[in-house]
């Protein structure tokens, strides 16, 4: 049995889903009245849908939604983070870490720019007394570590 | 039994007290190092043993060469004198006088042919170093770098 060129399976499917415009619906009804192939196809589709709906209802009736809800809630509560983990995530999150690092770098830069040069340490040696057979004596201090130097010229 | 133990305990206590008082009287020991250096205008290569010290000396002096002649270490009690033989029949004598705070007071004396030519008393920082220099030797000058720690 050949199907007419006017037969349109897509139109039938859309009809099943209730998506046809009034004009399409009128055309399909008039076509169905004259086309046994399309009548058969429609019947098969409706039978399939009925079967599917009844199976789904049966499956749904066997599912315990309360039990499922309990399982889901249990899993959610297990995934809840501890106090420490929440704070750790907060402090080490990129949202906070990047601005904090930038701020720290700016503070460091600021203080390194305005920092006063370190005061030199005490002189390494304090000279309490000095004597000898010398023509001259010079007491020096190295600029970096303030190391005391006594330079003397022997008399002869 | 108790009567036999008594002399032993007394003796032990006496030994301990004597030992402690000896240690207390000995006072701190001062570790002193004296490095003798010949500074000159030679073109000899840098003495690697003096690398840290040369940087300090070069900030004050303009010698091209600093060569270590000797390095003497001594561990002296207060009042003890350490003797360091120097080139040119010289001698360096160092005597710790006392420790005051973070400084050790040292008497530093240089002899030449048995005659005292230089004498100073310095208060050297714990871990600090100072230099005495000036005596001519060969084509350069002698420097004595003295450091102390206690």
In angstroms, the CA A98 to CA A92 distance is 9
In angstroms, the CA A33 to CA A5 distance is 15
The residues near B87 (Cβ < 8 Å, ≥ 6 apart) are B36, B38, B69, B137, B142
In angstroms, the CA B39 to CA B60 distance is 12
User: Would the CB atoms of A142 and B132 count as touching at under 8 Å?
Assistant: no
| pLDDT of B26 higher than 70 | no
Question: What's the whole-model pTM score?
Answer: 0.55
Min Cα–Cα distance to chain A from B27, Å: 22
Alpha carbon separation from A1 to A10, A35, A36, A38, A54 (Å, rounded): 20, 11, 10, 12, 32
Q: What is the pLDDT of residues B98-122, one digit of tens each?
A: 999 999 999 999 999 999 999 999 9
3-state secondary structure of B112: strand
3-state secondary structure of A134: strand
The residues near A27 (Cβ < 8 Å, ≥ 6 apart) are none
| The pLDDT of residue B5 | 66
Facing A151 at nearest CB: one of B59, B123, B134: B134
A111 beta partners:
none
| The pLDDT of residue B117 | 92
**To the nearest whole number, what is the mean pLDDT of chain B?**
87
Give the orientation angle of helix A9-16 with respect to helix A36-62, to 10 degrees. 40
């Amino acid at each position: 049995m050949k199907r007419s060129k006017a037969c349109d399976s897509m139109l039938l499917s859309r009809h099943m889903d209730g998506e046809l415009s009034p004009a399409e619906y009128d055309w399909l009804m008039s076509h169905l009245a004259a086309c046994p192939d399309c009548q058969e196809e429609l019947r098969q589709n409706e039978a399939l849908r009925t079967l599917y709906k009844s199976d789904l209802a049966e499956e749904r009736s066997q599912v315990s939604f309360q039990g499922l809800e309990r399982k889901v809630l249990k899993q959610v509560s297990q995934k809840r983070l501890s106090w420490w983990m929440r704070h750790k995530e907060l402090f080490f999150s990129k949202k906070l870490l990047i601005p904090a690092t930038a701020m720290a770098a700016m503070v460091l830069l600021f203080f390194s720019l305005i920092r006063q040069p370190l005061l030199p340490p005490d002189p390494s040696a304090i000279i309490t007394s000095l004597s000898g057979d010398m023509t001259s004596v010079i007491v020096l201090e190295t600029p970096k570590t303030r190391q005391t130097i006594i330079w003397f010229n022997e008399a002869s | 039994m108790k009567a036999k133990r008594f002399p032993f305990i007394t003796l032990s206590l006496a030994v301990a007290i004597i030992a402690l008082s000896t240690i207390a009287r000995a006072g701190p020991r001062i570790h002193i190092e004296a490095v003798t250096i010949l500074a000159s205008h030679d073109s000899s290569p840098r003495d690697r043993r003096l690398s840290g010290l040369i940087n300090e000396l070069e900030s004050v002096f303009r010698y091209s060469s600093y060569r270590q002649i000797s390095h003497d270490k001594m561990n002296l009690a207060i009042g003890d004198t350490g003797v360091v033989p120097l080139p040119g029949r010289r001698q360096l004598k160092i005597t710790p006088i006392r420790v005051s705070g973070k400084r050790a007071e040292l008497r530093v004396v240089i002899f030449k042919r048995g005659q005292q030519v230089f004498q100073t008393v310095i208060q050297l920082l714990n871990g600090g170093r100072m230099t005495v220099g000036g005596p001519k030797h060969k084509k350069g000058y002698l420097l004595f770098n003295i450091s102390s720690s206690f």
